[in-house]
Amino acid sequence: MPEVSTHPISKAIERDDSKRLMVFAGRTSIELGERIAARLGIGLGDHAVKAFANGEIYVRFEESVRGADVFLVQSTCSVFNGHPQSVNDSLVELLIMINAAKLASAHRITAVVPWYGYSRQDKKSAPREPITAKMIADLLQAVGVDRVLTMDLHAGQVQGFFHVPVDHMTAVPILAEHFRDRRSFGDLRNERIVVVSPDAGRAKLASHFGEKLGADLAVLTKQRPEHSEVEMTMLIGDVEGKVAIMIDDMIDTAGTLVEGARKIREQGATRVFAAATHGLFSPPAFERIESSDIEEIVVTDTVPLRDGAPQRIRVLSVDRILADCIHNVFSDESVSEIFSGENQLF
């Protein structure tokens, strides 16, 4: 009879190497990607992005990503500076980056999408309309994404459009800290503050923001005759003699913002500020802001600020939050702990 080994049989082959973390940035988020990589103590990954004569996008990673945890940073937004491209170009570039990483045998691919484009169409509001927020989720998953990190989604249900994990981050702590510092040490000291929601749908966000500042709450109501038009109908709450801070997830053409500020000033507010995570500032936003009652607008760098921005726009960086989230995902640690569980705003 053959001799039977008495040594235990291993059920796995152990490898001596460790996991690799690699960060690449698309053309809409190069500066943000560089800051994220610097905070992680690594260099930004090297890849080539070109366009064929007919406009088709070409992507190639210039270094091996085999077996690595790859994080691809790209906001699906328009870029007017440096590399002019549309929202659709940014989206397709991200999809191609994911596909290239998948075919290059990356271990895990995480799309870091600070601004999730097409998110405003998250449900059917009229017959024969699309639900583009879910369509984008389907596209990302179809090309092979394993995980998505995003920030201050327009609607909470977008998280449910994915079959892969979605980590939802928020810039509210950064925005609140900015105004809290000004209230403690700056020009808002001893001022009575009211946080104003631009519509009923943002009331919970405004309430959360107000709690961090110890401020009152007011809510504007509005209606939209057209997609790019807005009419403020009512202000619920007391703003008279107070400094008002309007808070929203995004600013596009600034129509809602400017009309809201006008209504607030009419009701007796002494000063009007605004804050939002995503500053898209599509034309004619800058012109509207210049002629508005808003003293300062605070946004983050989830979307790059185009040239010609008014001086009253202030940009804060979300690189620390994104870097911390990437580190925790890579290390299989909790993301919600970074926000002390306060990143569920819906």
Q: Give the integer Cα–Cα distance in Å for 269 and 259.
A: 14
Active site residue 222: yes
* Cβ neighbours for 141, distance < 8 A, ≥ 6 positions apart: 162, 163, 164
Q: Catalytic pick from 123, 124, 134, 222?
A: 222
* Cβ neighbours for 106, distance < 8 A, ≥ 6 positions apart: 65, 66, 67, 68, 69, 70
Q: Give the integer Cα–Cα distance in Å for 202 and 206.
A: 6
Beta strands 166-169; 147-151: pairing state: parallel
Q: Give the integer Cα–Cα distance in Å for 157 and 153.
A: 9
Q: Give the integer Cα–Cα distance in Å for 230 and 252.
A: 12
Phi, psi of 207 (to 5 degrees): -65, -45
- Six token digits for residue 241: 């003699």
* Cβ neighbours for 149, distance < 8 A, ≥ 6 positions apart: 71, 110, 111, 112, 113, 166, 167, 169, 322, 325, 326, 329
| Residues belonging to the active site | 222
